[in-house]
Structure 1
Amino acid sequence: MKLKLRTATALAGAFAAGILAGPFVGAIAQPDGGRAETYRLLQLFGDVFARVRAEYVEPVQDRDLVENAINGMLTGLDPHSAYLNPRNFRDMQVQTRGEFGGLGIEVTQEGGYIRVISPIDETPAARAGIRPGDNITHLNGNSTQGMTLQEAVDTMRGERGTSLRLTIRRENTPTAIELTIVRDVIRPQIVRFRMEGNDIGYIRVTSFNEQTEANVRRALSTLRQQAGNNLRGLILDLRNNPGGLLDQAVQVTDSFLDQGEIVSTRARRSEDAQRWNARSGDIANGLPMVVLVNGGSASASEIVAGALQDHRRAVILGVRSFGKGSVQTVMPLGGNNGAIRITTARYYTPSGRSIQATGIEPDVEVLASRAATTTAEANPQRERDRESNLRRALRAETTTPATPPTVQPAPLNLPAGLADRIQREPPEGFPTLDLTRPETDFQLQQGLVLVRGLVANPPRRAQR
């Protein structure tokens, strides 16, 4: 047995080196005196690999062991880095094109369980009543405790017409909620729009995929026609928008700006920093804008809200956003080995703010319900729904930027009396929020009060 194990260890060490030595070459070559330590750690990996391969109670595939090791390496960094095996990589490519099979739900991992960031509008998850902040504790009776995020996502995806049983723990609900949801082909209507009255346009963006910017332009063009060229104000609803493609966030923001910085990113190496600037042309021609955000507004939606806020192109209304201010890069691996998704940079608003773990603070805070107020007062842990409370979340960046910010936002000066007309929380007995029914949407109603006030009396900009 000892001879067998020693031989297996040697083979595994060579195998591990063949798989992992390439990426480590740069680290080994660094003149930091750490070369011996790196070799020792590679030997440790090979030793563990060999022991599991030889002694585990059931035979295991080498590929499974290596993929699990890679995934563990990446998920141990932060909540958003992961290994994508070939099938997951293909699924991700399909999803960013705007169509995939499953429940229609954006999730993350917290405290070992799967936590809902947001259901996607008009999908089985949304129709079943899944809410942001729900903890999914079981899938088909199997505990999600100890599942990787990717394993949970794989379980939730599936063929149209098949069902999945979810067990959910919801805050302030004493008993577990059991839901059986039938999977469907998810073709989310990522941009929905309508007129509010005769002169205010409403555009809701639910995610940022390859079709988002084109659909926003199409929506605004249609609203102009419906208004008979009498469109006087615009509400952009980014609530429960979990983000998506960075380039689409840049293009949507560019659509509403004539000039100036949109967003910048800073990576590990200063030479990898990037900056995106707006091109001339505001598709809304300067119409007064209000942007709605909440704790489910994350990543790409925060880029849009942060840029429009810094440039004072729009007034942000709602509650503090999720606070995901990091950029993930998908790096395909050769030989049909899938890809890795790894955090490569933080992004910054035009004024130089890193919103990682802090979020976008609205210009005008309006709660979705009175229950939100009492819950926050009675339970200070309510804020855990955001990025800052995820395990291994990147810290907020506090260092001084190497280059000064391009924008110094002027203070927001709302017209006299307008701020007083906006209610900060709904009255007693106000209906439960349902984003598909405007009459229950208190934040939207206050957004309409705000945008109509801006139409009647545009805000003054402080002199710079």
Structure 2
Amino acid sequence: MRLHILASAVAFGLGAAALAMSAEGEDRSREETFRQLELFGDVLARIEADYVSDPDKAELIENAIEGMMKSLDPHSGYLNAEDFRDMQVSQSGSYGGLGLEVTIRDDLVTIIAPMAGTPADNAGLRTNDRIVAVDGDSMIGAGIDEAVDRMRGAVGEPVTLTIAREGEDAFDVTIVRDTIEVTSASWRVVEETIPYLRLMGFNENTTDNALQGLQELQDELGRPLPGLILDLRNNPGGLVDQAVSISDLFLDGGEVVSMRGRHARDTQRYNATPGERLPNVPVVILINEGSASASEIVTGALQDRQRATVVGMTSFGKGSMQTVIPLRGGRDGALRLTTARYYTPAGRSIQGTGIAPDIAVSYREIKEDAPRRFTEANLPNALTNENGSEREELDVQEIEQPPADWPEGEDYQLHRAVEVLHAMMERQQASLH
């Protein structure tokens, strides 16, 4: 008993010392934070007093906040009140603009994908095009919010983009802004019998749009869907709840995705509800390097649950979730802050690595000396994969490519998806007899 008491006393003493050291460390950290804030105040005061012209102090502070957010990771940022309102509109309504999904790569505004049927798409802009100027003003080093703000505007007004494209001289494209409807789905029957559903993003209407598409496809065929191609290529993502509800259409309960924050207590799991919309319907998912975030949640869930065969190229690799935090109810804008990483049902983190397809198929011929496509791992300050995993580049020899006589402009990935789905449908029919 005496030994136990002594041991407890020693343990208590060590614990008390640890607490004291922890408190002391926190005090030092707090003091250092206040010292740095005082330094910031000194710098701002010096600029205000001695700069060659009268500076816009509000703009200085806004830029300082944006710089602080950008130092965290490429997806965290500050939205001023106007940008915050624009973001809310883009998720739920319509806006005047060009119809582009863009990101920053090597300090250049880079196109992820033009939205189908928009002015940008009709003007022939492509994935990986760099926007180096807007109306003659350089965008080199500009933030994503500044670039988007410059490209949006009143419907009917023109804007001139200077485009840098691989293998070509820079050129100007003048595009007239139009109303960009936030339509997130399109559908059609391909090769007379194959239902095809494309999701361009995940906004508040995506699941409703998808359900409408599935019903219209069934009406057009005049029978239950025999299979489905779900095209998530160049889908940059969006709302997590919509990714979960889209996955729910194909799953009979079970996990879709889990979100893990800074602390273990912050873990959230999202499950499908019992009963799937398309039971026993074979599904092929198409992805490519432009498939990111919410589209990777859907792909990872259906791949891990063996509910779909994935065709295409390894996805972008954005495995983090951002929370938009309004400041003073949005009057001071909002923070877009990375608050969690997401994991597929099998526990995979795809941050920086992406989701590899079951069948690797390229849209066009791959040349050995072709530049690598940009991915999440290439972005400045990108989060590392906490499991230590790195993106594995597919061996060119293992990627199916269009044959030499393949017609220019024909969609080879979709062609192969149709073939794969046909084979899945035939196997299912054979198993029923």
Q: Would you call these one fold, judging by a TM-score over 0.5?
A: yes
For each residue in 1:379-437, what CA deviation from the matched residue of structure 2 results, as whole angstroms up to 9, or x when unmatched? 3x413x1111111111112079xxxxxxxxxxxxxxxxxxxxx991111142334xxxx
> For the residues of structure 2 that align with 1:32 and 1:307, how far apart are their CA atoms?
44
Question: Identity of aligned pairs, percent?
Answer: 48
CA 1:254–1:428: 2 relative to 1, 3 Å: same
Question: Runs of 4 or more off by more than 4 Å in structure 1?
Answer: 27-30
Partner of 1:366: 361
Question: What is the identity, as a one-letter code, of the residue corresponding to 1:182?
Answer: V
Partner of 2:276: 282
Partner of 1:428: 404
Question: Please, which of 156, 159, 164 is the counterpart of residue 164 of structure 1?
Answer: 159
Question: Please, which of 86, 89, 96 is the counterpart of residue 94 of structure 1?
Answer: 89
Post-superposition offset of 1:198: 4.2
Are 1:396 and 2:385 an aligned pair?
yes
* Aligned 8 A contact 2:90 2:182 in 1: no
Partner of 1:436: none
Question: What is the identity, as a one-letter code, of the residue corresponding to 1:181?
Answer: I
Are 1:182 and 2:176 an aligned pair?
yes
> For the residues of structure 1 that align with 2:25 and 2:266, how far apart are their CA atoms?
20
> For the residues of structure 2 that align with 1:62 and 1:276, how far apart are their CA atoms?
44
User: Which residues in structure 2 correspond to 1:57-456 (within 5 Å)?
Assistant: 57-171=52-166, 173-334=167-328, 336-370=331-365, 373-374=366-367, 377-379=368-370, 381-383=371-373, 385-398=374-387, 424-433=400-409, 440-456=410-426
SS of equivalent to 1:34: helix
Post-superposition offset of 1:47: 0.8
TM-score of the superposed pair, with normalisation by structure 1: 0.83
* Aligned 8 A contact 2:92 2:182 in 1: no
> For the residues of structure 1 that align with 2:25 and 2:254, how far apart are their CA atoms?
40
Post-superposition offset of 1:35: 2.3
Partner of 2:395: none
> For the residues of structure 2 that align with 1:28 and 1:342, how far apart are their CA atoms?
28
* Aligned 8 A contact 2:312 2:359 in 1: yes
For each residue in 1:219-261, what CA deviation from the matched residue of structure 2 results, as whole angstroms up to 9, or x when unmatched? 1111111111152110000001111111101110111100211
For each residue in 1:61-117, what CA deviation from the matched residue of structure 2 results, as whole angstroms up to 9, or x when unmatched? 332122111111101211111111111101100000041211111111121111111
Question: What is the identity, as a one-letter code, of the residue corresponding to 1:130?
Answer: L
Partner of 2:11: none
* Aligned 8 A contact 1:53 1:59 in 2: yes
* Aligned 8 A contact 1:369 1:432 in 2: no
> For the residues of structure 2 that align with 1:257 and 1:340, how far apart are their CA atoms?
34
> For the residues of structure 1 that align with 2:182 and 2:405, how far apart are their CA atoms?
32
> For the residues of structure 2 that align with 1:266 and 1:240, how far apart are their CA atoms?
26
* Aligned 8 A contact 1:28 1:38 in 2: no
User: Structure 1: 5+ residue runs without aligned partners?
Assistant: 1-26, 401-421, 434-439
Post-superposition offset of 1:458: 3.8
* Aligned 8 A contact 1:367 1:426 in 2: yes
TM-score of the superposed pair, with normalisation by structure 2: 0.89
> For the residues of structure 2 that align with 1:207 and 1:323, how far apart are their CA atoms?
16
CA 1:28–1:153: 2 relative to 1, 3 Å: farther
The range that moved more, 48-57 or 76-85, is: 48-57
* Aligned 8 A contact 1:81 1:342 in 2: yes
> For the residues of structure 1 that align with 2:260 and 2:384, how far apart are their CA atoms?
14
> For the residues of structure 2 that align with 1:160 and 1:28, how far apart are their CA atoms?
58
For each residue in 1:255-285, what CA deviation from the matched residue of structure 2 results, as whole angstroms up to 9, or x when unmatched? 1100211001111111111110110121112
* Aligned 8 A contact 1:328 1:341 in 2: yes
User: Structure 2: 5+ residue runs without aligned partners?
Assistant: 1-21, 390-397
Question: What is the identity, as a one-letter code, of the residue corresponding to 2:341?
Answer: R
> For the residues of structure 2 that align with 1:34 and 1:460, how far apart are their CA atoms?
68
Question: What is the identity, as a one-letter code, of the residue corresponding to 1:189?
Answer: T
